[in-house]
Amino acid sequence: MQTLNVFYDNLRVGTLTRNDDLIYSFAYDEDWIVHSRAFPVSLALPLSAVTYSNKPTLAFFENLLPEGEVRRTLERHEKIASTFDFLEKFGRDCAGALIITPEAENNADSRSLGIGEEIDLEKIDAAIDQHQSVAEVLAGMDHGYLSLAGAQDKFPAIYKDGKLFIPLGTAPTTHIIKVPIWRSGVKESVANEYYCMELARAVGLTVPHCDMIGRRHPLFIIDRYDREISLEGVVKRLHQQDFCQAQGVPSEQKYEDKGGPSLKDNYRLILTQTPVRSRFKNINLYLDWICFNLIIGNNDSHSKNISLLMRGATNELSPLYDLICTAIYPKLTKQFSFRIGDRSEFSKIGKNQIDLLEDEIEVKRGTFRKRLHNMSEVILENKDRVAEATLEKDSQIKIIHRISDLIDDRIKSLRFQGA
C-alpha cells in the first residue's frame, strides 16, 4: 500500500492510495470534511466519508498529468511508469489549488517559499533546436518540478521582471509557457495562439493576459488564471477542475467521439453547477466559446480545454484558454471537437445542425444562431486590427494573414449553409 497526501494550502484534504494490486482510491480527511474552507476536489468526488474507487479517483488525478509524447518523455527521463509515481514526483504545482506530496511530507505550506533558479532561455532554445522536450530539460534542473495537464510541450514558471524562475519547494508558479509545436506540418504555433487569444479578448471574451517572449525561438506566455496575486505580491492558488474532471471522464475520452462529454453534457454541467446569480453569464460565455472555436477553426477545443474555477465557495466558468486555429494545418483533423447537431465536419454544419443543437440543449430556437451571427460580425470587425498588432511584435510571421483569410472563408461557409 502506497499513499500520497493531498493538500490545500497547509490543510490536508485527503489521501490518494494505490494498493498492491495497483488499484487506486481516494478518501477525504475527516477534519477536511467538517472544515469551514472545505470543498470537493471534483464534482465527481463529492465531500463524503466514503472511499472512492479506482475509476472516479483516476478520472480526477490522472487528468492532472501531461498527455501523449510529453508524458512518455518525462516518464522515460525520470524512470517513472504510473500516475501515482508521476504525482509523487511532480505533484507540487498542479493545475488548480491542490498540492500532492509523498506520505512522509505532512505539511505543504508554501507561503514562506518563493523564487528558485532562473530558467536559462538558451537551454530552452537549444532544446527546441534539437526537437527535445523542454519539459524534460526543466525536469532535469529540478526533479520535483513540472506537472501540467495537456498534450503540448509547456512548463509552469514564476515570471518576474522579464525573467523566468523555477519555484522553491511547493511555491506556486504564476505563468504557463508554451514552446513552438514542432510536429510535421505545424508552423508558427506560438503566433497562432497569441493571435487567437488576442482576437478573443478583442471580441469581448474573458481570457488571461498573454504575450510572446523569448530569444531565438518565440515562446507563448500566459498568466495562470488559477493563481491570484495580492497587492503585497503573495500568490494564492485557486481551485479548478476541467470539464472531464468535473464529470468523471478520463483524459483519453476528452473528445466526444471517443466517449467524452458532448456540448449538451457540458451545458448541463454549467446549468446545474454554477450560481443562479451568474448562470446567464456563464452560459453565454460557454455558447460564445463554441461559436468562437467554430469560426476560427479550433478543432482541439475538447472538454479538457474548458474549466470551472472556484471563486469563494462557488464555481464559475474559468477564463478561456488554448484558443488556436488548428484548421490552418492540413495534416490536422478537419472534424470539430464536438458534434453540432448531427455533424462534426465543418463544411456540413448548417441550419439543420444548429436547430438540432438548440433542441438538444433546450434553448429557444434562434438563440445559438444569433450568437453565432453576432460572433461572426465582431470577429470580422476586429481580426485585421488584431493581426496588425500581432505583426508589430514580429513582422516575419506569415501565418496570421492565412488565419484571417481562413476565418473569412469559414464565416462565408456558415452563412451559405444557413447556420
Q: 154: which 3 cell numbers?
A: 509547456
For 272-326, write each residue's pLDDT tens digit. 999 999 999 999 999 999 999 999 999 999 999 999 999 888 999 999 999 999 9
Quote the pLDDT of residue 151.
47
- Is residue 173 a contact partner of residue 167, using CB atoms and an 8 Å limit? yes
- Match 478561456 to its residue by C-alpha cell: 320
With both helix axes pointing from N to C terminus, report the angle between 189-202 and 399-416 in degrees, rounded to the nearest 10.
Answer: 50
Give every CB contact of residue 346 below 8 A, 6+ residues apart in sequence.
Answer: 294, 297, 327, 334, 336, 410, 413
Q: How far apart are CA 321 and CA 177, in angstroms?
A: 13
Whole-number percent of the chain with pLDDT over 90: 69
Name which of 17, 18, 13, 44 is nearest 29 in CA terms.
13
More reliable by pLDDT, 113 or 211: 211
The amino acid occupying position 419 is: A
Q: How far apart are CA 148 and CA 64, in angstroms?
A: 7
**Residues with active-site annotation:** 300
Cβ neighbour number for residue 388 with a 10 Å cutoff: 10
For 98-138, write each residue's pLDDT tens digit. 999 988 777 665 544 578 788 989 988 998 888 877 766 77
Cβ neighbour number for residue 188 with a 10 Å cutoff: 21
For 28-56, write each residue's pLDDT tens digit. 999 999 999 999 999 999 999 999 999 99
Domain span(s) for CATH 1.10.1070 in the chain: 240-416
The CA angle 31-35-38, to the nearest 5 degrees, is 110
- Is residue 267 a contact partner of residue 286, using CB atoms and an 8 Å limit? yes
Structural domain 240-416, CATH architecture = Orthogonal Bundle (1.10)
For 157-184, write each residue's pLDDT tens digit. 999 889 999 888 778 899 999 999 877 7
pLDDT, average across residues 232-243: 92
The single-letter DSSP state of residue 306 is S
